[in-house]
Amino acid sequence: MASPTITLVTATPSPAVTGQSVTLTATVIPVGAGTPTGTVTFVVSGGPTLNGTLSGGTASVTASGLGVGVHIVTATYNGDANFTPSTGTTAVVVIQASTTTSVTSAPDPSTLGQPVTFTATVTPIAPATGPPTGTVTFVISGSGGGTFTQPLSGGAATLTLSTLGVGTHTVVAIYSGDANFLPSTGTDTHTVNPGPAATTTTLMSSVNPSVFGQPVTFTATVTPNAPATGTPTGTVTFVISGSGGGSFTQPLSGGTATFTTSGLGTGSHTVTANYSGDPNFAASSSATLTQVVNLAVSTTSLSSNPNPAEAGSPIDFVAFVAAVAPAGGTPTGTVTFTLTDGATTITIGQPVDAFGFAFVSDAELPEGEWDVSAVYSGDANFGASGVSEYTQIVTGA
């Protein structure tokens, strides 16, 4: 006949914290001689059902993942050929785990107006495990600070601000806690240094409108915006559109930078001056300036050799086309020579060479008084000009 038994069950640790494993131990005591064998079934309310095998009258299992609260554990000895089943109970208490909260900022220090990211990290205190959930409230002192609540994800919450004023700010991160984890708080300080001061860049032209070939000086002046003071350094890049334009970088000296060019083609050019900034002063750009380059005025002179000349002897006519100051460069195009004695008219077109000269060589004219004109046609950059009152005398042979 089977002997009765008594089952006792214990839980270690109790209380436990969130995420901590609990060891359940059943001890089966015989009422009489012998040692019970077989299995014990552990039923945990709100938790798992586990089976353990008796060894020396005891069986142990490990329960994990138990939520916060009271869990009743029922251990049922299933009996064997010599011993009858029996049941024992106990309770496991699981409490909220403690946490630590730390807070950092990056970059630290920052400069005025620079975005700063605050990160709060919430960590369970061992032996607790698992990721805390809920929210973190960032309390930031000083100008541009305030109270900001952010969600916790993967044990971390972040906040990005670009509004903080110059100075030292106290940062407090308050974790709200959740069903399984207790609240906690972390503190830090963040420093905001003065950032580069804002600047204003103005642009002027030495002459506008100008004429082709005329030197034009562009001057950029960079000044700090009040209340900032000092002299900006660095470079200014002049960006000029159109023929002869491009990007030209010049050093800033005493708050000004200049660029001089005489290569701008005729027409309208947009000009912008872009200041690069330096460690103390922020970059800025000027308003767009329109530089107008007009056609240059030309002048044409005429000569001949020999004058007077004998009939039938060769005569050379030379026209010289030049830019009229302040224009510069060499005109291109053609000069039309017209020779007439009233009865006969001779017209000859000749190109202007690289030096501004146009030639009619070895002309042979009959005896008489010849009126000679030289008219320059003009080109894309120079206006027309000419000589209309020149007399060539041809005597008898």
In CATH terms, are 199-294 and 298-395 the same topology? yes
Name residue 71's beta-bridge partners.
92
What pLDDT shows up at residue 227?
A: 79
What pLDDT shows up at residue 31?
A: 93
Mean pLDDT of the 252-280 span:
96
What pLDDT shows up at residue 14?
A: 87
Quick check: 267 pLDDT over 80?
yes
Does the domain at 199-294 match CATH 3.40.50.2000? Answer given as no
Q: What is the pTM of this model?
A: 0.58
pLDDT in tens, 149-192: 999 999 999 999 999 998 999 999 999 999 999 999 999 999 99
All structural domains of the chain with their residue ranges? 5-95, 99-193, 199-294, 298-395
Mean pLDDT of the 234-248 span:
97
Mean pLDDT of the 263-287 span:
95
Stretch among 6-10, 86-90, 161-165, 330-334 having the lowest mean pLDDT: 161-165
Tracing tokens 């541009």 back to the chain, one arrives at 144
Quick check: 280 pLDDT over 90?
no
Tracing tokens 């059902």 back to the chain, one arrives at 49
What pLDDT shows up at residue 112?
A: 81
Quick check: 196 pLDDT over 90?
no
The torsion defined by the Cα of 303, 307, 309 and 315, in degrees rounded to 10, comes to -10
pLDDT band at 226 (very low <50, low <70, confident <90, very high): confident
Select the CATH number that applies to the domain covering 298-395 from these four: 3.40.50.300, 3.10.580.10, 1.10.3720.10, 2.60.40.1930.
Answer: 2.60.40.1930
CATH class for the domain made up of 5-95: mainly beta
Mean pLDDT of the 90-109 span:
96
Does the domain at 99-193 match CATH 2.60.40.10? Answer given as yes
